[in-house]
Amino acid sequence: MLPFANMSGDPEQEYFADGMVEEIITALSRIRWLFVIARNSTFTYKGQAVDVKQVGRELGVRYVLEGSVRKAGQRVRITAQLIDAQRGTHLWADRFDGSLEDVFELQDQVATSVGGVVEPTLQAAETARSANRPTNDLAAYDLYLRAYAMALSSAAQFPKALRLVEQAIERDPRYGPALAYAAICYFRLVFDARSDDPEADGRRATDLARRALEVAGDDPGVLANAVAVLAYFGEDIGAMMALVDRAPALNPSFARGWYISGVLRLWAGQLDLAIEHVEASLRFSPRARVGWAIHLIGSAYFFSRRFHQAVSKLLLSIQEDPKYPASYRLLAACYAHVGRLGEARDIVERLRTITPSWCRTSVTCGTPSTASSSCRACG
């Protein structure tokens, strides 16, 4: 990350621009898979007109974050842009306006926001790099990235994503992110009624999740994904919520961590807190999907009997991913609760077309289950 340019015309404001860079470097350093060059190296470019491609070669980095600070009175505008150092192309840019009344609070706000946006942007860029490489040369990291992007594009992609991430585990049996995401894939096969053997897949999911936790260290992504799987398949929900709260503590701008925390709050019946945490995930990752956030908010409205609000969210969720069965289940139940039985039947018929296995009472599902052939709500 390069020093931010002081555009205020006031040399006294250099401290603010430098402090802003320090805060963002700290925020980005919390992203465990991201290698961030230290301030001492990047500040050698301070005050210079730099060529981003040259900086990339000299520092050995793929991406460069640069920006500027402009102060006018008690107002300040901070701009930031993320650049692919090898191609010279812009991946993301934004600006932040605020008051200097509390300069440190403003720095924290911008650093957290930049960290939340940069992570999914870099994930997408790295996935694109992987997609352009020959398949037989893919390393475990490349396979994991492909699986991650594929699964989050649609619920129907989880079986294909699982095959990729299992190849990554074959290459490195102690690769934490791959272990945790394989657990997520097996969990989703069961949850989405796409599993041919829910009991066996449930056991595979919990085994992979426990193996992931053994090697997780301080990786918030591994932690959040593994905990979500264990909570769904019957681990103590209170203990799992305490564990998942470590993810945003390790990286406050980690959107996936906030999303998983919201999932567990939903399962625990803490519905307003579930909405709050999922909305936080949407703020930190407004462009890249980190989960089925709109569905989760709709679920929280449903279980708090705010059916009309739930309907609007679940309709949006189906529009976002027409292959996600859980949204159809809850939407049908919402329509039934408000007396719109014809629409409920229509939704059930649509659900039948996208799920290979289906139980008659599963339209009310959405709660965590044990690893059994039927979900908890279906008995």
Full residue range of the structural domain in which residue 226 is found: 135-258
Same structural domain, 34 and 100: yes
Same structural domain, 124 and 151: no
Same structural domain, 145 and 216: yes
Domain membership flag for residue 309: no
Q: Which of 79, 96, 131 is the last residue of a domain?
A: 131
In this predicted model, which residue has the larger pLDDT, 192 or 202?
Answer: 202
Domain membership flag for residue 230: yes
Domain membership flag for residue 171: yes
Same structural domain, 9 and 127: yes
Same structural domain, 34 and 75: yes
Q: What is the per-residue pLDDT for 55?
A: 83
pLDDT in tens, 320-355: 999 899 999 999 999 999 999 999 999 999 999 987
pLDDT in tens, 120-178: 777 666 666 655 443 333 578 888 888 887 887 888 899 999 999 999 999 888 899 99
Same structural domain, 223 and 127: no
pTM: 0.64
Same structural domain, 150 and 116: no
Q: Which residues contact 44 (CB under 8 A, 6 or more apart)?
A: none
